[in-house]
Amino acid sequence: MSSVPERSDIDEEYKWDLDSIYASDEEWDAAFEDVVERIPELEAYEGQVTEDPETLLELLETMEEVLREVSMVVSYANLRSSEDTRNQEYQAQAARAESLASKARSAVSYLDPELQELDREEMQAFIDEEPALEAYEHYFDDVLRTKAHTRSAEVEEVLADLSDVTGSPSDIYSMLANADLEFPTVENPEGDAVEISQGNFTKLQKHPNREFRKTVHEQFYDRWADVRNSVGSSLKNSVKKDVKMARIRDYDSAREAALDGPNVPVEVYDNLLETVRDNLSHLHRHAELKREAIGADELQMWDLYVSLTGDHGPEIPYEQAKEYIIEAVEPLGEEYQERMAEGLEDRWVDVYENRGKRAGAFSAGTYDTQPFIMMNYQDDAASMFTLAHELGHSMHSELANDAQPWHDASYEIFTAEVASTVNETLLTEYLLENVEDDELRVHVLDEYLERFRSTLFRQTMFADFELQIHEIVEEDGPLTPDRFDQLYGDLKAEYYAPAETDERIAREWMRIPHFYYNYYVYQYATGISAAAAIVERIREEGEDAAADYREALALGGSEYPIEVLETAGIDMSSPEPIEDAMGVYESFLDEAAELLELE
């Protein structure tokens, strides 16, 4: 029987090294209590923020000391809870950590409102009198920029104190999807029993046997139907939370509020949706190539993930994937390449799926820790590309942490998704140019096309759905599971017009955790567009362009995202990068059609 192993059955070398944060849970407890004792230090400055420059600097330095420790406490607890969502001890630890973080945020919630009592000239006078404050110029600019949307110190304290409560829809969904929801076991064509999971569903949908894919599709989404009311309620309340928070801060919409955080113009979102809709013909062509490749009269929803070659593709063990990725990033410079290789040996990565492990993949960590990458590696090309993706995030953090002080190191998701997809693009080009195995080359080409499909088109479809469901709540309309189904099903039918949609695929919204992240997903699509342009520039200009890109990564959060990408030579305020990405997608479709003798 093919089954998901327990965590204890996996070798230590394939688990991340959380002992590098705290050597034991007891050490974590001590750090937790230390932060608890220091929170009153932060509260003591209330009402004194603008008293004089020296007091302001003292507060900022104290806040940094406390919040850096808070971030480590939270990171350790969250990473432990992700290892096995069934472990109640670590779930409780994560809840305690989040509550502590909420208290710490609440303890300094007065800071921005009090700073906003100063105008820009008064703030500059503070900096002139205390030059050490100059290091905080970007932070001060950001605070003053959002002055119109910051409430009184009392209201800000309440909002900060409620943060662990307002996050409950996402928490409830995560526990349901990852811990409580069990999926059926099905028999594969080889006669083995295979347990469907959140982690392996996509891989099973790539199986060459069409009837097996159909069975997996039906059983998976039928199981989701059993909890549609629970998931519908959690998503509805998550959207209502976004809308209410935006109204509290006097924004016209939840989208405006979400994009104003990183100072991304709303036009960037509109450009994305409009440009992708204008180019759906490329996605439709990809779907037609799949239909022809599998020899079907009609493409069905359980065919969308299947390779153009119609089979699994070659097995790519984790060790081989590491070698390919390290070689692929050579254009980014020797130091970048060597640092990534060292990280892979230093147990940055939690490699394999285990029972109860959180689904998907992510890169995490803090200013004072190494990066930590969660994988559910499946020995295939998709997993290899996901590893490259997450390593992009980790290397972004490493470069930013090296170059920036703590308060400027943390970068926005908008730029983060560029770093991850640059790595994917470099991996594709390296393998196509250097690997002699024709089978692997074809699958690499197919995988990159899938990345484009799932990142540029699918994430834009998600962004469209997210916009629609928020607008319904903003217009005081009802959100029900049936309404979610209808909206999502219509979008799926539009985006994948050559394929037949079924009632089950309309439930796909239920399995997407990113809908709880408040206008998050569009950044995957803008990210892959910018990444394609950056890699093309590096190919044309060499080290000068690579240096610009490394400089952009090293900026971290010291500038706004649009400005960061301008450093790398990319203008995301225009639709041009998205249009250029469409051209890349089309060229790869041409190559695939020629290699596989399709069309």
Which domains, ranges and CATH numbers included, belong to the chain? 8-166 (1.20.140.70)
pLDDT score of 1 more than 50: no
383, with CB counted inside 10 A (0-12, 13-18, 19+), is: buried
**CB count in 10 Å sphere of residue 182:** 10
Rounded to whole angstroms, the Cα distance separating 68 from 365 reads 11
Rounded to whole angstroms, the Cα distance separating 160 from 100 reads 11
pLDDT of the residue at 160? 81
Rounded to whole angstroms, the Cα distance separating 487 from 410 reads 35
pLDDT per residue over 303-332, tens digit each? 999 888 876 678 999 999 999 999 999 999
Report the mean per-residue pLDDT for the chain.
Answer: 94
pLDDT of the residue at 227? 96
Is position 447 annotated as part of the catalytic site? no
- In angstroms, the Cα distances linking 574 to 63, 420, 538, 548 are 38, 21, 21, 20
Tokens 């890699």 identify what position?
535
> In this structure, are strands 193-195 and 362-364 parallel, antiparallel, or unpaired?
unpaired
pLDDT of the residue at 248? 95
Q: In 111-182, which ranges are continuous DSSP H helix? A: 111-115, 120-129, 137-145, 153-161, 163-166, 168-175
Which among 170-174, 400-404, 439-443, 585-589 has the top mean pLDDT?
Answer: 400-404
Active-site annotation holder among 390, 417, 424, 429:
390
Rounded to whole angstroms, the Cα distance separating 180 from 352 reads 20
Q: In 14-167, which ranges are continuous DSSP H helix? A: 25-43, 53-83, 88-107, 111-115, 120-129, 137-145, 153-161, 163-166
Q: How confident is the model at residue 178 (pLDDT cuts 50, 70, 90)?
A: confident
pLDDT of the residue at 436? 85
Quick one: CA torsion of 119, 120, 125, 128, rounded to 10 degrees? 150
187, β-bridge pairs: 193
Q: What is the mean pLDDT of residues 84-90?
A: 94
**CB count in 10 Å sphere of residue 91:** 18
**CB count in 10 Å sphere of residue 157:** 20
Sequence-ordered list of residues with C-beta below 8 angstroms from that of 463, at least 6 positions apart, any chain:
269, 272, 273, 519, 521, 522, 525
- In angstroms, the Cα distances linking 531 to 62, 284, 339, 535, 540 are 38, 23, 21, 6, 14
pLDDT per residue over 457-500, tens digit each? 999 999 999 999 999 999 999 999 999 999 999 999 999 999 99
Least confident range from 139-143, 177-181, 353-357, 427-431: namely 177-181
pLDDT per residue over 522-555, tens digit each? 999 999 999 999 999 999 999 999 999 999 999 9
Q: What is the mean pLDDT of residues 263-274?
A: 96
- Cα angle at 415 between 287 and 164, to 5 degrees? 100
pLDDT per residue over 575-592, tens digit each? 999 999 999 999 999 988
Q: In 249-378, which ranges are continuous DSSP H helix? A: 254-260, 266-278, 280-294, 318-328, 334-345
Least confident range from 175-179, 321-325, 358-362, 559-563: namely 175-179
State both tokens at 67.
């919040």
Rounded to whole angstroms, the Cα distance separating 36 from 107 reads 11
Q: What is the mean pLDDT of residues 254-274?
A: 96
Continuous segment of H or E residues that includes residue 440: helix 438-452
**362 φ, ψ (degrees, to nearest 5):** -160, 165
Tokens 């996901």 identify what position?
386
pLDDT of the residue at 90? 94
Q: What is the mean pLDDT of residues 84-109?
A: 94
> In this structure, are strands 299-300 and 499-500 parallel, antiparallel, or unpaired?
parallel
pLDDT per residue over 33-67, tens digit each? 999 999 999 999 999 999 999 999 999 999 999 99
Q: What is the DSSP letter of 6?
A: P
- One-letter amino acid for residue 352 of the chain: Y
Rounded to whole angstroms, the Cα distance separating 289 from 140 reads 52
